Structure 1
Amino acid sequence: MPDDGDTRERAVCPACDTIHYENPLNVVGTVPYWGERVLLCKRNIEPRRGKWTLPAGFMELGETTAQGAARETVEEAGAQFEMEGLLSLLSVPRVGQVHLFYRARLLSDRFEPGAETIEARLFAEDEVPWEEIAFRTVRETLVFYFDDRRRGCFDVHTLDVT
């Protein structure tokens, strides 16, 4: 453990005393919408292959959270859209991740899904396959989105997924 007042056990290189920090990964994505419907992607990769999700993935170095969310939306859904505000920020400490989802107004209802997606499809709230949603963070974000849409006002929502 470093002798600098740090309260966590950390890996330290015995040769050069470099401290190796382990930090959470950022998962970034969008809630793409077309009128009253949202775009979901059926996963073609593990984990949870065959389940529905919002377009999202790990943020890359050198990009902002919004840029990463936009990139993932293009890669997974082949969607044309305009980025809007942040909708949800969810901490998932069990797996060392932070998930951020932005609203994205679709400019077309045509999609060209990439290799990670079996199918990209629009769903009204009552059509969402809730039992087939891949991740709790996606389910919670969809609930936030539909609740806010009904109220006519979008907020930024935070949640600790424990």
Structure 2
Amino acid sequence: MKFCSVCGHGVSLSIPPGDNRERFVCGSCGTVHYQNPRNVVGTVPVWDDKVLLCRRAIEPRYGYWTLPAGFMEMGETTAEAASRETLEEAGARVEVQSLFSLLNVPHVHQVHLFYMARLLDLDIEAGEESLEVKLFEEHEIPWDEIAFPTVGQTLRFFFADRAAGSYGLHTGDIFRSLREG
């Protein structure tokens, strides 16, 4: 960040009074510009014994498979954002159910939240950010072509819970070195 979004003057990194971290602070108007993690929200859309995945039409990870998810917008709840992203990426209408996984991804400043969701019908189609959408049984999941570690972990949680006959909330941290991309 170079300029204050309030007054347009230059900002510099400093530790504001009463804080313990460097922040971008405007030397003119005194505004402290906080930068916080972004929420990525999505669903685990289920139809019978199948899960809906989207093949990405955008970077990062073009051509790889993912659960429908994306960045939460201002004015949305996490559940509303998950439903919207599922509709945008997979053309899928869902009944959003309970929060299923919450995974911290500190190296990219994100928190990923996935909700269990029941597909309302099979009227699905790839949105602008997807090359294709497809329902997969567990043995059909293209594990080597999963776009993101959080998606792979969420799918592993889902299939383990399904096998156990009980679904719970899963939390954790995903760490990758910056060299891994």
TM superposition score category, shorter chain reference: over 0.9
Higher relative CO (Cα under 8 Å, sequence separation at least 6) belongs to 1
Structure 2 gap ranges (5+): 1-13, 176-181
Match for residue 47 of structure 2 among 19, 25, 34: 34
Q: Using the alignment, how far apart are the partners of 2:49 and 2:125 within structure 1?
A: 21
Aligned-residue Cα RMSD (Å) equals 0.9
Q: Using the alignment, how far apart are the partners of 2:33 and 2:96 within structure 1?
A: 35
The question of 1:6 aligning with 2:19 is answered yes
The question of 1:22 aligning with 2:32 is answered no
Match for residue 66 of structure 1 among 66, 72, 79: 79
AA of the residue aligned to 2:52: L
Number of the residue aligned with 2:3: none
Q: Please report the TM-score for the alignment, with normalisation by the length of structure 1.
A: 0.97
Match for residue 56 of structure 2 among 7, 25, 43: 43
Structure 1 gap ranges (5+): none
Over the matched positions of the two proteins, sequence identity in percent amounts to 60
Match for residue 142 of structure 1 among 150, 155, 160: 155
Number of the residue aligned with 1:103: 116
Per-residue deviation, residues 37-90 of structure 1 (Å, max 9, x unmatched): 100000001111100000000000000000000000000000122111000000
Query: Per the alignment, in what secondary structure is the counterpart of residue 71 of structure 1?
Result: helix
Q: Please report the TM-score for the alignment, with normalisation by the length of structure 2.
A: 0.87
Number of the residue aligned with 2:138: 125
User: How many residue pairs were aligned?
Assistant: 162
